[in-house]
Chains A and B, each alone.
Chain A
Amino acid sequence: MVVAAMVAADKPDRPADGELVRRCCQGDELSFRELYRRYQGKVRATLYQLCGREVLDDLVQETFLRVWRGLPKLRSPDYFSTWLYRIVWNVATDKRREFAKSADLRAKLQPEPPVAPPDLMELHYRDWVEQALQELKLDFRSVIVLHDLEDLPQKQVAEILNIPVGTVKSRLFHGRKLVRQYLEKQGVTF
């Protein structure tokens, strides 16, 4: 909801998420395309942090297909962004369960090194951040990705993950501690 408000505030001419959702429910494909364009970057980034680059396009597609199917059942169109992130979370956990069944879990979840980095130091930093996040348990990582990287408020993260705000705070605290420890081992100082 907050993200939706932010998106609408950025460009006042653009229809709010709720309006687009209502139009989608009447079969307006253009409105769905608008929603896709509005959120695909965030969805993609979140899924990448949670599941890696393997089958990333498929996961993004799966997310938006679930969104399309579920839109008529969405009771509060103004909560679209929270609902969307919940679907992202479900898609990510489903995919991880599938990966867990296969033997090459590590290989699949291990992202490939970035192509053509801007400079060597930046490459190291990105690699370390990526490694630090990969080292975290999914519970901690999801909270850090949604709150620290995607900039969602704690209340919304709690709604998305269906956990109390206190648990979000606690996971943030422990997750950040582990990330800091990892980065400090690499020589990064804060």
Chain B
Amino acid sequence: MKDAYDYDDDRQLVAFLRQHRPLPPPAAANLEHQLLEKLRVEETLKRLKWRQRRCWGGAIAAALIPLAWLAHRSFSPQLSSAELVQLETFLEDSWYCSSYECEPHLGEREEWEMVWEFSER
């Protein structure tokens, strides 16, 4: 615990200082009580702040969800009903052709072009 004193004179000096050290005045009778009260208040405030932060976090999240939904809706492509029907038809056709082998559907003009091609040969 104690260090060896470097000098004998110092040892006497230190003993003198310890013997006649100025003593602090006694603490206020309720100092400990006051301190513990302050700690309790501080802890309560800390908990309140934490709850407030959680409430704010919840409110912000609640506000962000509909905003995100709206943003998603407004930025996704909007199709007219005619386009939707066309898309549906295309999907049905492409699904059918991917499952069964089928000839590409040729238009009337393309059929005539083929007839002319064969007759020329």
Which residues does A use to contact B, with CB under 8 Å? 2, 6, 27, 29, 32-33, 36-37, 40, 44-45, 47-49, 53, 56-57, 60-61, 64-65, 68-69, 111, 114-115, 122, 125-126, 128-130, 133, 144, 147-149, 151, 153-154, 169, 173, 176, 179-180, 183, 188, 190
Contact = CB atoms under 8 A, between A and B. Distances in A.
A49 B24 CA distance: 8
A40 B9 CA distance: 32
Interface of B: 1-3, 6, 9-10, 12-14, 16-25, 27-28, 31-32, 34-36, 38-40, 42-43
A27 to B, nearest CB: 8
Nearest to A69: B42
Contacts of B34: 61
Nearest to A112: B25
12 contacts: A6-B1, A27-B43, A45-B21, A56-B24, A56-B25, A64-B35, A125-B16, A129-B16, A130-B22, A147-B3, A169-B6, A179-B17
A179 B1 contact: no
Decide if the interface of chain B is mainly helix, strand, loop or mixed: helix
A2 B1 contact: yes
**Do most interface residues of chain A lie in helix, strand or loop, or is the interface mixed?**
helix
A21 to B, nearest CB: 15
Contacts of A180: 9, 13
A151 B1 contact: yes
Nearest to B39: A68
Contacts of A56: 24-25
A40 B18 CA distance: 19
A2 B3 CA distance: 12
Contact of A61 (B1, B6, B35): B35
Given A36-B35, A126-B22, A130-B22, A144 B17 contact: yes
A180 B11 CA distance: 12
Given A65-B42, A180-B13, A129 B20 contact: yes
Contact of A126 (B9, B13, B21): B21
Nearest to A168: B3
A63 to B, nearest CB: 10
A125 B25 CA distance: 17
B13 A179 contact: yes
B39 A65 contact: yes
